Every structure is written in structure tokens, then in C-alpha cells.
Amino acid sequence: MADREQHQQLAGAAAGGADADADADAGKGQHTMLRSDRDLEAATTESQPQTDLEKNIDNSTGDVDSGASTDSKVDRDPNVVAWDGPDDPENPLNWPESRKWLGLGLISAMTLVTPLGSSMFAPGIPGIMVEFGESSATVATFVVSVYVLGFAFGPLVVAPLSETYGRAPLYRWGNVLFVVFSVATALSRNMDMMMAFRFLMGLAGSVPLTIGSGSIADMMPIEKRGRAMAVWALGPLIGPCVGPVAGGYLIQAAGWEWVYWLVAILAGIFIPPSFFLMRETYHPVLLQRKTNRLRNETGNTELRSALASKETPAERWKNAILRPLKLLVFTPVITLMALYVAIVYGIMYLLLTTFSFVYAQQYGFDEGTVGLTFLPAGIGMMIGVVLFGGFTDFLVKRKQAQGAELKPEVRLTPALAMPCAVALPLGLFLYGWTTHYAVHWVVPMVGVVIFSCGLMGVMMCVQNYLLDAFPQYAASVTAALAVLRSLAGALLPLGGLEMYNDLGLGWGNSLLGFISAAMIPLPLLFFVFGERIRGRTKLRV
């Protein structure tokens, strides 16, 4: 009712020429009228696109930084609907912490379950190859990585859908489809069926991976995003690592089909909570709902959302699909950082798809025991979360306490980013040469722990940096990262076994280590020159 009375008062003031000073005294959150033509001219000048971008609001796309305030715009027009001041309880940034973390916990749980399907059945690949009469090494690795290929193409559809219908429907129905395709995969009777349904599982499972960071930006202020991003990012990284631990023994005891039955059950658990507990967080959709409600209550059909796009639905859809690709191709910061993440992510998947063969051949592990070889990667990522999750927020809070200008490059502080980057090649060299000489299996697992710890740190640094640098394009930036990262995760493993056969485990992993070492200067480069590079990027997306 407060919203209704507010807009009725403003409409009356507009019709009767009420004095703007009286409107200003009407209370917090009420909008004032422009007092003169000079004010109107100033407002017109201030509302140009470059000013909106400084406030992290993009009227043409609907992308919005959750921390941006729309009050400065709506004060000038009583027909524009925005949040009722900075403390509006409907704004997800002002939700109680319990509600925020309940939503984030649910999203993170979904983000953990969907990657389980990517590698949980990896220990059973040798048996599946025999059952389906396959002998190609390429098929053996592609049946794992085709799932990640779904992660690559899914964001191109998920991101624009989320910008049109909001985030909550995508989480709900994406999870339902994921359960359906998991059941279909469990019922597969040949390799072609399995690959097709695993690809569809990846498409549906890409939803929480694509828009999870956007939900965090909707709800969390910048000084709390580091921890939230760490919790969310843990899923797509630790899921493929811990899944095979249970999958190895499950396949040995009940057969590979039960891997997918288990994944379907786990994902199905979250269907009721997603429909009854999950709330929409996307600001443009929430403000549009508020606008529609006020139109019905007041009868004022001129009301419009402060974040409403002027584009037609077709134009908005087309731009939303193309935006991640434009950002990926034409924005150097995103291009290089996405390439860095893609390479290390692809290396991780190459290791995951070959663990079953390497440890079976070098150390004689059986199907059950070989599943345990994936555990060190999960342990390393947990260590990475503990070490780097809180540290990145600490750096932000320290800058705020010092009163210094808070720039996105703080996420790439050398004390944080450089140890992560150095850990990647170090872990690969240790893993490669110790498996080559069949040193006790504990030693190569230590190498995997070091690598995965560095991987977690790099992912957190890059994702937080790009989210802070391009908050108005949060969903599109995440989609751009996911596309390149998942393509690398799907395609790099295809040559893994052949590479080991040709170069050996020592030099094969050393090659990966040299590639990782060549990428070490990137975080330092953008820490020093990132602001200048971003300032020269003039791309209208």
C-alpha cells in the first residue's frame, strides 16, 4: 500500500504542478519533480549511457550491478519505479543474512551435484568400453568430456533466458531436466545413447554454473562476495574430484547404471526446495514485477521499471546471446583471463579423465581403489577455499578501511594471485615425474593437491576480478568464461592418453606444466595495467 500511495501522490503532484520542495519532504523513497527547464536539461544530460555505466546500470541490456542505486534516476520521473531508497527490504541486497545464505546454499548444492555426473562414473570406463564393444582411446575420454561440452553450449542459452525470465525459473526447471536426462542415461544401452544423454545432462546442468555468480552479485555486497564466490565455485571444481571416490566402489558393487540413479536422486532432492524456498534475485525482473503490481493497484499504465529495456524481446534475446561472445572476443581483459582459466580447467579435466588409467597401470589399483585417486584434487580445492576465500575479502575490507579507491585489480594482488599461479606448474611437474618413475603413490597425489589448490586460487581471483570489473554484465561474463572453459575441459582430454603414450607421463605432464608456467605473468600484468586496459575498451554490447 505504501507503494500505491506513493505513486498516487506523485501522479497528483505532476498533474497539479505541486512544488518540488513539498515532494522532497514527503519522506524517504518518494520521488521529486523537476523544478525548472534547467533541471530537466541537467537530468537529460546526466542520464546519458556513460553516466548509467558509471552507476553500473545498462538500460539497453537489463544487466545491472546489484549494488547500483536507481534512486538518482527515478527522483526525476514519478512514473519510473525503482527501489524505495537504499534500505528497501524488497532489494535482495537488503535481505536478512539467513535468507541470502539459504538461497546461496541451495544454489551451491545444485552446483555441486551437476558436476558429479561429469566424472563420477570415470572409474568404470574400462568396464563400460568392454560392455559396449568399444576399444578407441578417444571414445574412452570423449564419453567423459562430452558432458563438459554441454557445459560449454548451455550458457549461450541459459544466460539470455535468465535475463528475460529471471534466475529462479532457470534453477528450478534446469534441475528437473537434469534429473530426467540422468534417468535416461542410466537406461542407455549403447555408447551413442550414453553420449547423447550425457551431453543433454551437461546442457541442463550448466544452469547453476552459469548464473550462480550473477545471483551472488544480486545479493552480496562487494566486501562479502569473495567468500560467497568461494562456496559457489567449489561445486564445479570439487564435484568432478569427489564423485569418482564414491563412484568407483558403487560401480564395483552395483554397476555403472547406479551412478546415474544416484545422481538423479541427489538432484531430485532439491526439486521441492527450489520451488518452495528459492526466491528471485534478478533486479530487473523484481522491479518489473513491482511495476506490474503498481499498475494494477493505481491504474497508471504509464508506470515503467527503472531497469526496463527499450529493446524489443527479439532484440534483447539476440543481444543477450551475442553478448558473451562479443565480450570474449573483443574485450582483452576477459579474453586473456578466460583463456587462462580455460587452460588450467582443461588440464584438470585431462588429469581426471586419465587417473583411472594411470593409477591402474602404474600402481595396479582396481576399480574401487582407483576412485580414491580423485580425492587429492578435492582436498587441494578445499585447502584453496580456506586459504584464498577469506583472504580476498580481507584485501577488499582493508582497502575500504584505508579509505583507498577500491579497484577490481585488488583481487589480483600479487600476494594472492602469484602463489596460486606458481602452484600450477609445480604440482604438474611433481605429479608427472613421480608417476613416470612409479614413486610411491602418495607423492604424485601431493602434486595433485598442490595443483588443485593453485587452480582454486586462480579461479577465485579471476572470477572475482571480472565480476568486479564488469558488474553490469555479470551473467554474460560468467557465460563467456564458461563457454571457453568448458570447451577446453571437453577437448583437451581427448588427446591425453595419446600424449602420455607418445611423451610418457614425465614429459607429458611437464608439457602441461610449461604451458601453465607461461601463463604465470598474466595476473601480474592485469594487476599493473588492468585499469588502463579496461579504460581503453569501448565496446557496446
User: Exposure of 362 by Cβ count < 10 A (0-12 exposed, 13-18 middle, 19+ buried)?
Assistant: middle
Question: In Å, how far are 110, 171, 232, 410, 486 from 156, measured between CA atoms?
Answer: 19, 15, 20, 29, 12
C-alpha cell, 369 = 581403489
What per-residue string of b and e applies to 382-417 under the rule 16 or more CB within 10 Å gives b?
A: bbbbebbbebbbebbeebeeeeeebbbbbbbbeebb
C-alpha to C-alpha distance for 299 and 288, rounded to whole angstroms: 16
* CB-facing half-sphere around the CA of 164: CA atoms within 13 A: 16
Find out whether 332 and 539 touch, Cβ atoms under 8 Å: no
DSSP string, 437-473: TT--THHHHHHHHHHHHHHHHHHHHHHHHHHHH-GGG
- Sequence-distant (6+) residues with CB within 8 A of 434 are 443, 444, 447
C-alpha cell, 332 = 582483452
Predicted local confidence at residue 304, as pLDDT: 86
Q: Which amino acid would we find at residue 154? A: G
* β-pair partners for 81: 305
* CB-facing half-sphere around the CA of 473: CA atoms within 13 A: 26
C-alpha to C-alpha distance for 281 and 291, rounded to whole angstroms: 16
Query: Is 279 strand, coil or helix?
Result: coil
Tell how far CA 129 is from the center of its chain.
33
H-helix segments, 135-167:
137-165
Q: Tell me which residue of 517, 376, 365, 518 sits closest to 438, measured CA to CA.
A: 365
Query: Is 305 strand, coil or helix?
Result: strand
**Phi and psi at residue 80, in whole multiples of 5°?**
-95, 125
- Sequence-distant (6+) residues with CB within 8 A of 168 are 274, 278, 279, 280, 281
C-alpha cell, 520 = 604465470
Q: CB 248: neighbour CB atoms within 10 A? A: 27
* CB-facing half-sphere around the CA of 486: CA atoms within 13 A: 27
C-alpha to C-alpha distance for 384 and 174, rounded to whole angstroms: 29
C-alpha cell, 268 = 531430485
* β-pair partners for 305: 81
Find out whether 509 and 428 touch, Cβ atoms under 8 Å: yes
What's the whole-model pTM score? 0.69
C-alpha to C-alpha distance for 148 and 490, rounded to whole angstroms: 5
Tell how far CA 346 is from the center of its chain.
17
The class (CATH top level) of 92-279+315-536 is mainly alpha
C-alpha cell, 479 = 557465460
Predicted local confidence at residue 8, as pLDDT: 45
C-alpha to C-alpha distance for 191 and 184, rounded to whole angstroms: 13
- Sequence-distant (6+) residues with CB within 8 A of 73 are 47, 57, 80, 82, 306
pLDDT (tens, 9 = 90+) of the chain, 541 residues, equals 444 444 444 343 333 333 333 333 333 333 333 333 333 333 333 333 333 322 333 333 334 444 444 444 445 678 888 888 888 899 999 999 999 999 888 998 898 888 887 778 777 787 888 888 887 877 877 887 788 888 888 888 887 788 788 899 999 999 999 999 999 999 988 888 999 999 999 999 989 988 888 898 889 887 787 778 777 877 766 676 677 777 777 887 888 888 899 999 999 999 999 999 999 999 989 998 999 899 998 888 888 888 887 777 777 777 777 888 888 888 888 889 889 999 998 898 788 778 878 888 888 887 677 778 888 888 888 888 777 766 777 777 777 777 766 788 888 888 788 888 999 999 999 999 999 998 999 999 999 999 999 998 888 888 888 888 887 777 778 778 878 888 887 788 777 778 888 899 999 999 999 999 999 998 888 888 888 888 776 666 6
Q: Tell me which residue of 345, 319, 91 sits closest to 239, measured CA to CA.
A: 345
Query: Is 337 strand, coil or helix?
Result: helix
Q: Which amino acid would we find at residue 48? A: Q
Find out whether 223 and 393 touch, Cβ atoms under 8 Å: yes
* β-pair partners for 80: 304
End-to-end CA distance of the chain: give it in Å, rounded: 38
C-alpha to C-alpha distance for 112 and 243, rounded to whole angstroms: 10
- Sequence-distant (6+) residues with CB within 8 A of 142 are 195, 494
C-alpha to C-alpha distance for 27 and 41, rounded to whole angstroms: 25
C-alpha to C-alpha distance for 47 and 535, rounded to whole angstroms: 20
- Where do we find the cell 585489480? 409
